[in-house]
Amino acid sequence: MRVVTVGDNCMDVYQELGKTYPGGNSVNVAVYLKALGVNSSYIGWVGSDKYGDIMVEAIREKGVDTSHLLRKEGKTAVTYVELIDNDRRFGEYEEGVMGNFTLTTEELYFIQTHQLVHSGIWGHTGKYFPLFKEKGLLTSFDFSDQLNHSEVKKLPQFVDYPFFSYTRDDIYIRDFLKEIRSQGSKVVVATLGENGSLAYDGEQYYKYGVKEDNVIDTMGAGDSFISGFIYGSLKGLSIDRCLELGTDTATKTIRYFGAW
């Protein structure tokens, strides 16, 4: 299995704790997939600062292909985070060099050597997804909790596995998943925090709960869930089993500080 993730990375800075951890949706998904045995690559930009050094070294240490991770003059993206009852709250986000992120022709060709390409709402990659689908790639995309974002109205037709973040299983989210699925996706998934996860494939809904565990930090839980689900999908497993794998992967992530 070969998966490439494209777009956002950032250093998660816990100022009160005096700690920093590498992260960002696309980076996290690549790292988690590698841990599951997938041959994963990451494409993105980091700055010329110390955080850029930390990010590059950390991703390489996890075994992810960083041949297309580039250094640009400027600052690496930073998200300021605080912990409230072991749940993370995001503060200011400084996008740094990733604010001008684009893909080159060579990088687009490199992406096509993979089975699946993944990105997220902050990755500046939406405009490339029509090409990815045209070239026959499987695609996944994390819309996070941005259910009303402009990309939601035009991108799902090019995304096989769109992921959303919501709070509970209710009529609103079920109708929302059905509407997104009607645009052409294979399976639409919503993570529901402590209420588990929900998926829709055009015929029926699938629901999976959470597994009780000692929550240390929820950072990266959604991204690790996505990784588990993608892994199961690439192996041809049932939707129920994919939801279970996503939950298992997320459960491991919440046992420690930082995304990984």
- 218 or 225, greater pLDDT: 225
Q: Which residues contact 44 (CB under 8 A, 6 or more apart)?
A: 6, 7, 8, 9, 24, 26, 27, 69, 70, 98, 101, 123
Query: What local confidence, expressed as pLDDT, does residue 212 receive?
Result: 61
Among the ranges given (22-26, 201-205, 215-219), the one the predictor scored with the smallest mean pLDDT: 215-219
228 has pLDDT over 70:
yes
What's the whole-model pTM score? 0.90
Query: What local confidence, expressed as pLDDT, does residue 259 receive?
Result: 47
Query: What local confidence, expressed as pLDDT, does residue 128 receive?
Result: 98
State the pLDDT confidence band at 216, using cuts at 50, 70 and 90: very low
Residues 22-40, mean pLDDT to the nearest whole number: 95
State the pLDDT confidence band at 140, using cuts at 50, 70 and 90: very high
Cα 24 from Cα 28, distance rounded (Å): 6
Residues 68-76, mean pLDDT to the nearest whole number: 97
% the chain with pLDDT above 70: 90
* Pick from 151, 120, 87, 155: nearest CA to 230: 120
State the pLDDT confidence band at 82, using cuts at 50, 70 and 90: confident
Residues 204-219, mean pLDDT to the nearest whole number: 72
Residues 125-154, mean pLDDT to the nearest whole number: 97
Domain 2-253: CATH superfamily is Ribokinase (3.40.1190.20)
Query: What are the tens digits of pLDDT across the range 157-203?
Result: 999 999 999 999 999 999 999 999 999 999 999 999 889 999 999 99
Could you tell me where the beta strands, DSSP code E, fall in the chain? 2-6, 10-14, 19-23, 39-46, 65-71, 78-84, 87-94, 116-120, 138-142, 161-165, 188-191, 197-200, 205-208
Query: What local confidence, expressed as pLDDT, does residue 91 receive?
Result: 76
Query: What local confidence, expressed as pLDDT, does residue 87 receive?
Result: 59
218 has pLDDT over 80:
no
